Amino acid sequence: MQGIFQQLTPYLEKAMALTTALTLIEWDMETTAPEEAADATSSIIGLLSDEYFKTIMNDEVKQLLHKIVETEEYKQLTEVEQAIVTQLQKQYDEFEPVPQSEYKAYSELTAKSSGIWAKAKENNDFNEFAETLKEIIYYRKKFATYRQKKGQPLYEVLLHDFEPSFTMEQIDSFFALIKKELVPLIRQITSKNVVIDRSFNHRSYDIDLQREFCIWLSGYVGFDFERGVISEAEHPFTTNLHNRDVRYTNHYEENNLFNAIFSAIHETGHCIYEMNIDDEITQTIVGSGTSMAMHESQSRFYENMIGKSKEFWEGIYEKLQQQFKPVLNDITLEQFYLAINQSEPSLIRTEADELTYPLHILIRYEIEKKIITEDIDVYELPTIWNDLYEEYLGIRPQTDAEGILQDVHWSMGEFGYFPSYALGSAIASQLYHFMKQTIPFEQCLKTGEFEEMEQMLKEHIHKYGMVRNTNRMLKDMTGETFNASYYIEYLKEKYRKIYDL
């Protein structure tokens, strides 16, 4: 007799095929499609997304799920099958309680909201976006209420969409630690007035040479070109069809070398994660990175622990100089290392250095909590934003575009997402701490031998996809669940050395 789980297979397979098609269409729109294609192709995306929902959310699947969860069947499933059921159940929990009329109104809203945000940002005027944001907040809160468990903070419902294995209490303590430890450190650095020259980053670097170097660099740290593709788009991003088709984009600017180099290493970290997902799960709904933070931890690990270390550049700085000869002839390795790690409070999150970055996230975290748990007036947000920047980073945005309007996330209804960025860096630090005790880490950086690191990440994290959660994998690998102190320790040690504190 066929098990109940097996009866889900045709639905899951069809859903997976549709997801893959949608992923490819979106990749193509960002990298290849001609300008005028957008409208007609969007209608295709709409039709395929509808079909995806119908495939997963219907009475047959619902009944099968119910049978599996409510009977002995669940216990007899393999770990992978259980994870698939959990993941499917999560989609039901998220969408089922929302009345269709509300979901429709919300979809119509978010179909245009990013456009309104982009226009407002262009015009540097938050007021143009305020009413739209108010509506988005209204729906996000309302939808979260449907799923809220008794006694659960409403914001935690949203956090769990991205980090299901963290409680809000844990995240609160995480950001409290960041505030307590990093705000003073940053002040200390700022007040010391050390000048690190990074102006050479804005010299002229031929774009073809940048492309060539960055593609080489990706391969150097472990990008597998038989399973992956590197292309170009307005912004760097990673996407994957399955573990043998993983792609990232970069963006090259003549007068900014660091952007392209560190995007290349960062996105390669994301790609390596997806390339190492196990064959057994790659074409299932659990065949992708386990959480936003875990994904970001991999990209940050490659970007920062590997790519911004001195040892890494000891091995390849000459190659870099050679590539752009003679542009970097007068810059020593030491100068280069300091420049890529210079820390300075700035207004734009995506351009922030490793040390000030988590403060940008702290600010968003505090504001999101206010938005979700208090009935805050959206028109007050710009001032709250600016005040927090002044308080934590000592600088004050002068315009909405460089302040409250800088990120796209809220316009897409993504509340609860930002914390993952900081959690990712913290997880990366914990992995780093563990690896340094396990393998000759610095030696590997110098010689470019990254296989052992990757193998550890693959065996403990990558291959499981979403079958195991972040904390479980951290525990299995490092012996303890998430511990933010390694992050603080890492940043303190690194930046005290750089700024001679």
Question: Does residue 209 touch a second copy according to CB under 8 A?
Answer: no
Interaction mask 410-439, a second copy, x per CB under 8 A: ------------------------------
Give bridge partners of residue 239 from the DSSP assignment.
247
Q: Of the listed 156, 267, 296, 303, which one is catalytic?
A: 267
DSSP helix/strand/coil, 230: strand
- 207 sits near a second copy (criterion: CB under 8 A): no
**Of the two residues 44 and 111, which places its CB atom closer to a second copy in the complex?**
44
CB 68 within 8 A of CB 77: yes
**Given candidates 244, 349, 475, 492, which one binds a second copy under the rule CB under 8 A?**
244
Q: At what angle do helices 154-162 and 127-147 cross, to 10 degrees?
A: 90
For 215, other C-beta atoms within 10 Å of its C-beta total: 15
The 10 Å Cβ neighbour count of residue 297 is: 30
Q: Residue 69 interacts with a second copy (CB under 8 A)?
A: no
From 167-175, 219-227, 318-326, 419-427, span contacting a second copy (CB under 8 A): 219-227
Minimum distance of a second copy from residue 253's CB (angstroms) = 21
Told to judge if 181 belongs to the known catalytic residues of this protein, a careful annotator would answer no
C-alpha of 373 from chain center = 24
Using CB under 8 A as the binding rule, whether residue 206 contacts a second copy is answered as: no
Q: Give min distance, CB of 397 to a second copy, in A.
A: 36
Q: Min. distance of Cβ 213 from a second copy in angstroms?
A: 18
- Strand ranges (E), 160-311: 228-232, 237-242, 245-250
Query: Is residue 443 part of the contact set for a second copy (CB under 8 A)?
Result: no
Q: Quick one: 25 or 177, whose CB is closer to a second copy?
A: 25
User: Considering the rule CB under 8 A, would residue 26 count as an interface residue with a second copy?
Assistant: no
Nearer to a second copy, 21 or 196 (CB): 21
Residues 6 or more apart in contact with residue 327 via CB below 8 angstroms: 200, 203, 204, 205
3-state secondary structure 232-262: ECCCCEEEEEECCEEEEEECCECCEHHHHHH
Residue ranges in 34-53 that form contacts with a second copy under rule CB under 8 A: 34-37, 39-41, 43-44, 47-48, 51
Cα angle 293, 417, 42 (rounded to 5 degrees) comes to 110
State in angstroms the smallest separation of the CB of 261 from a second copy. 23
Please give the Cα distance from 401 to 398 (Å, whole number): 9
Question: Which residue do the tokens 């010689």 mark?
Answer: 447
211 is a site residue for a second copy (CB under 8 A): no
**Site for a second copy, residues 258 to 297, rule: CB under 8 A:** 282-283
Asked whether the bond before 345 is cis by omega within 30 degrees of 0, the reply is no
Reported as type and span, the H/E element at residue 477 is helix 470-478
Name beta bridge partners: 250: 232
Q: Is 196 in the site for a second copy (CB under 8 A)?
A: no
Q: Which residues bind a second copy (CB under 8 A)?
A: 13-14, 16-18, 20-21, 24-25, 28, 32-37, 39-41, 43-44, 47-48, 51, 225-229, 231, 241-246, 282-283
Return the active site residues. 267
